[in-house]
């Protein structure tokens, strides 16, 4: 076992699996894509859920990644144990119906004992007791000590119904000095002696709701190998915090706090918390998450404020977290360049949040400390939830932070009372999420507003209420943005997935733009306005202008959404049900239930069916009827909507019938054209179609036609022959590449023959070192093999080639050469370093890369030097 940096370990892992046929993909964002079931990515397999379930087809059946993850479930343990983190990287290799247990186990063992040279006698494996297949592979295909294979009932991975299967975990024995001293200490013990470094999950069953395990047709492999854990082993560190992936942050915080790490337990805990949270915070902001009181933003705020609190415990009064971003960026330079590129932005976000919390932290801590002392004096252990809410609302303390501080004093927070105090605020926050134009609304129950009416034909009304910054007011001035209510309104208020109307208001004393229209909790319509000139007053009579072009565009998309759902049910099946929608003047988005992607042929059928219906020019019928009668007549209800006894029914005769309160065209011919521009998965069992209508669809098709014409002109052909022309060009290109590859192979062979003629001999060992003109790494490796096979005694081949302006090396040592002390991995590492690169491998074969091709000859000279020094 040799020292290896976190950077090199990550690269070695990915290269190993690429070499074994895997496609390397970059880490996905911490923000889950099209998966509302996840708050953040917390596992290596999370970005591939759709591949595992068969909802989507992977780009390759073998994939390898180093996935950035954030989990906060065990946040209270961070800094107190050697292994708990909120941020970590999970190395993974995945198979989607490709290889299974044999290769997964074999490659894991080969990587750990071959690439990393971990001592085999220190490695243990656990398996599920009934998994005889895994046991046989471990005992016959690896040279693990059979006594180091432990059968545990816990080695079965499942979460409710769905794909599941046994797993096999690999542990390393770190020695008795890391153990608990118990005579029963062994694999699975909670102490630090046996460290889990790899988990192989064999997804082979589909568990039904009634508990039956049916074999999957396509078996999958999901593996997880913690980068920080493995780095701690290779760097011989007692915890992940001392590795080069984290310790530079501890050093930074120690310097700022003027504290020495390793001298005091509580100091070390705070330094570790800061190091861990600094990584989470940096990457979360890098991925676009901002501090807030909801969802991912709340997690970020909690982590940031927790880190600030631990900094105060160390005596750090000034802002410092932004400076930690520089250290984090340096640790991950060359790996996550976006972190370096966005460093200034990340520091600004963190600095502003530090400022916000710093102004209230001291006062909040004074209040909390006083309350703790009061509880101690009264011999009580539960803090009033109202006090906890005040700490949150006034001083910015996440409730978990308050609870953590209480826990340190053997106390708890009255969470039920806290939740009760939070209810109203949480409701406002949920309403605000995704509705950034919603105004803070004051209590209007005592306002003398009077009866309000909705009238689509109204063009004049009176202002009956105005509010700004959650307080009612009698007037607005130029530049103000606020909410107001008209006694009669023609504006459609946001609802049923459709955005609210926009327009303008004009009075004798001022003008305002209506930038959105929404509903109060009681259903009353209000406008969000921006005063552009003069002033507005309660009691003013206003001239109303609704932006009819915007309204008609929204109406086109809304009616088209109804046609889309009806067409989907006809083409795909009656199981299609709406799961959500969004309609505005620019496009429509329709989410619906489906257990598989919609095929290209089905999408084309749906699009053609909708356009054919549009061409019929039917009038859209609007009626009102009893809800039960409407449903009996076949009307579909919209997702998430609440209906009264009398409902509004929108009907396209013979095609569609839905309960809906939204805006629609009078005649479906007004839609003009319907064009689907995207279909994707957004969650398990939920698909999404995005489409455009009217002028947007015409513009889209015109752009496609222009692109087509450009291709025709560029290729000097006509539309009917374009596909054949492209096919011919591709075939010609393929043939030319084949010819070029032949020429390059012959040239490389000629170079190899020249090198063979220039063979050197050192102390009875044949040595070939030189450059060939290879087309790719396979060719470079093949020529190294050919030359090495020509030796009749100990020998070594060091070949270099320039590929894509970079240097690539391959070193091959035959069996007799290894016996004479030659080690390919060590040779190639020294050689590559001359050209600004790195690499390594087995004693008999290794490869590496470099960035400075101009130093190739110097690298070869180094090769001769290293070879001579190794020969025994």
Give the H/E segment covering residue 593. strand 588-593
* Residue 681 to residue 36: CA distance in whole angstroms: 11
**Structure tokens given for 460:** 């004049």
660 in a known ligand binding site? yes
Alpha-helix residue ranges (DSSP H) falling in 156-264: 227-234, 247-257
Distance CA 665, CA 673 (A): 13
Q: Is 22 annotated as a binding residue?
A: no
| 185 in a labelled binding site | no
The single residue listed with the structure tokens 């070695």 is 12
Q: H helices of 548-647, where?
A: 548-571, 600-615, 627-632
Please name which of 817, 862, 868 lies closest in space to residue 843, comparing C-alpha atoms.
817
Query: What are the two backbone dihedrals, phi and then psi, of residue 379, each rounded to the nearest 5 degrees?
Result: 60, 40
Which residue intervals of 332-414 are DSSP H helices? 337-341, 343-377, 385-395, 399-408
Number of Cβ within a 10 Å radius of residue 602 = 16
DSSP-based three-state secondary structure for 449: coil
Specify the pairing of strand 453-454 against strand 525-537.
unpaired
Residues 524 and 452 sit within 8 Å (Cβ to Cβ): yes
Which residues have a Cβ under 8 Å from the Cβ of 520 and sit 6 or more positions away? Answer: 441, 444, 526
Q: How far apart are CA 6 and CA 271, in angstroms?
A: 20
- Alpha-carbon span 733 to 743, nearest angstrom: 15
Angle between helices 856-870 and 824-834 (to 10 degrees): 150
Element (H, E) at 750: helix 722-757
Q: What is the CA radius of gyration of the chain?
A: 34
For residue 474, give the 3-state DSSP assignment.
coil
Distances (CA, A) of 727 to 226, 285, 735, 783: 46, 45, 12, 34
- Is residue 534 within 8 Å of 510, Cβ to Cβ? yes
* Contacts with 178 (C-beta within 8 Å, 6 or more apart), sequence order: 191, 192, 193, 238
Distances (CA, A) of 476 to 409, 543, 547, 612, 617: 51, 17, 22, 50, 46
DSSP per residue, 200-220: EEEEEEEE-TTS-EEEEEEEE
DSSP string, 263-324: S-HHHHHHHHHHHHHHHHHHHHHHTT----SSHHHHHHHHHHHHHHHHHHHTT--S--HHHH
Q: Is 562 annotated as a binding residue?
A: yes
Positions at the binding site for Zn(2+)? 558, 562, 660, 664
């Amino acid at each position: 076992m040799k020292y290896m940096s976190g950077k090199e370990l990550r690269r070695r892992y990915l290269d190993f699996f690429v070499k074994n046929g895997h496609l390397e993909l970059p880490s996905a964002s911490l923000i889950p894509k099209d998966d509302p079931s996840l708050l953040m990515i917390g596992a290596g397999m999370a970005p591939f859920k759709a591949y595992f379930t068969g909802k989507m087809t992977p780009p390759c059946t073998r994939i390898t990644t180093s996935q950035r993850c954030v989990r906060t479930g065990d946040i209270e343990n961070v800094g107190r144990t050697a292994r708990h983190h909120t941020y970590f990287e999970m190395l993974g290799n995945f198979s989607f119906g490709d290889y299974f247990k044999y290769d997964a186990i074999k490659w894991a063992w080969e990587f750990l004992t071959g690439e990393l040279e971990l001592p085999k006698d220190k490695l243990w494996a656990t398996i599920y007791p009934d998994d005889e297949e895994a046991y046989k592979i471990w005992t016959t295909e690896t040279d693990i000590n059979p006594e180091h294979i432990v059968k545990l009932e816990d080695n079965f991975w499942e979460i409710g119904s769905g794909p599941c299967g046994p797993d096999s975990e690999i542990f390393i024995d770190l020695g008795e000095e890391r153990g608990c001293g118990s005579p029963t200490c062994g694999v699975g013990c909670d102490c630090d002696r046996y460290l889990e470094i790899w988990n192989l999950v064999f997804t082979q069953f589909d568990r039904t709701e009634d508990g039956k395990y049916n074999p999957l047709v396509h078996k999958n492999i999901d593996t997880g190998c913690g980068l920080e854990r493995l780095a701690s082993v290779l760097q011989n560190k007692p915890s992940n915090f001392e590795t080069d992936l984290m310790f530079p942050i501890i050093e930074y915080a120690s310097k700022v706090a003027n504290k020495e790490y390793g001298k005091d337990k509580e100091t070390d805990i705070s330094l570790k918390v800061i190091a861990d949270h600094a990584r989470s915070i940096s990457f979360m902001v890098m991925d676009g998450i901002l501090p807030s009181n909801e969802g991912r933003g709340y997690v970020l705020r909690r982590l940031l404020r927790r880190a600030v609190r631990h900094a105060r415990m160390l005596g750090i009064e000034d802002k410092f977290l932004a400076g930690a971003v520089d250290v984090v960026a340096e640790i991950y330079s060359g790996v996550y360049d976006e972190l370096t590129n966005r460093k200034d932005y990340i520091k600004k976000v963190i600095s502003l949040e530090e400022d916000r919390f710093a102004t209230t932290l001291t006062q909040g801590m004074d209040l909390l400390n006083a309350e703790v002392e009061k509880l101690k004096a009264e011999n009580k252990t539960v803090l009033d939830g109202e006090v906890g809410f005040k700490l949150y609302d006034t001083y910015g303390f996440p409730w978990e932070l308050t609870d953590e501080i209480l826990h340190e004093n053997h106390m708890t927070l009255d969470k039920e009372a806290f939740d009760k105090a939070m209810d109203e605020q949480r409701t406002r926050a949920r309403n605000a999420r995704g509705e950034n134009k919603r105004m803070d609304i004051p209590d209007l129950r005592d306002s003398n507003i009077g009866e309000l009416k909705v009238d689509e034909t109204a063009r004049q009304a009176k202002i009956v209420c105005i509010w700004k910054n959650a307080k009612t007011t009698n007037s607005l001035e130029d530049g103000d943005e606020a909410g107001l209510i008209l006694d009669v309104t023609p504006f459609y208020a946001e609802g049923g997935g459709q955005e609210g109307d926009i327009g303008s208001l004009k009075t004798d004393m001022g003008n305002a733009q209506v930038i959105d229209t929404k509903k109060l909790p009681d259903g009353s319509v209000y406008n969000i306005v921006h005063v552009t000139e003069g002033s507005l007053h309660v009691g003013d009579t206003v001239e109303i202008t609704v932006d009819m072009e915007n309204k008609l565009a929204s109406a086109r998309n809304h009616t088209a959404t109804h046609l889309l759902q009806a067409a989907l049910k006809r083409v795909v099946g009656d199981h299609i049900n709406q799961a959500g929608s969004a309609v505005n003047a620019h496009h429509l988005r329709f989410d619906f239930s489906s257990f598989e992607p919609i095929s290209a042929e089905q999408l084309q059928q749906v699009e053609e069916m909708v356009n054919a219906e549009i061409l019929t020019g039917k009038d859209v019928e609007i009626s009102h009827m009893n809800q039960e009668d409407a449903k009996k007549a076949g009307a579909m209800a919209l997702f998430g909507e609440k209906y009264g006894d009398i409902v509004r029914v929108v009907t396209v005769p013979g095609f569609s019938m839905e309960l809906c309160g939204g805006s629609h065209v009078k005649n479906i011919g007004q839609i003009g054209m319907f064009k689907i521009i995207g279909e994707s998965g957004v969650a398990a069992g939920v698909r999404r179609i995005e489409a455009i209508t009217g002028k947007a669809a015409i513009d889209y098709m015109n752009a496609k036609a222009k692109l087509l014409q450009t291709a025709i002109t560029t290729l000097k052909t006509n539309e009917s022959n374009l596909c054949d022309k492209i096919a011919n060009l591709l075939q010609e290109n393929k043939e030319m590449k084949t010819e070029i590859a032949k020429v390059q192979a012959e040239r490389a062979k000629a170079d190899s023959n020249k090198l063979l003629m220039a063979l050197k001999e050192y102390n009875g060992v044949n040595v070939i070192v030189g450059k060939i003109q290879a087309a790719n790494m396979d060719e470079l490796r093949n020529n190294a093999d050919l030359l090495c096979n020509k030796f009749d005694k100990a020998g070594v081949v060091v070949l270099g080639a320039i590929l894509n302006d970079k240097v690539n090396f391959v070193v091959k040592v035959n069996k007799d050469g290894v016996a004479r002390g030659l080690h390919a991995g060590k040779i190639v590492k020294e050689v590559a370093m001359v050209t600004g690169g790195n690499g390594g491998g087995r004693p008999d074969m290794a490869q590496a890369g470099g960035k400075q091709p101009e130093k190739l000859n110097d690298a070869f000279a180094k090769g001769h030097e290293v070879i001579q020094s190794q020969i025994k």
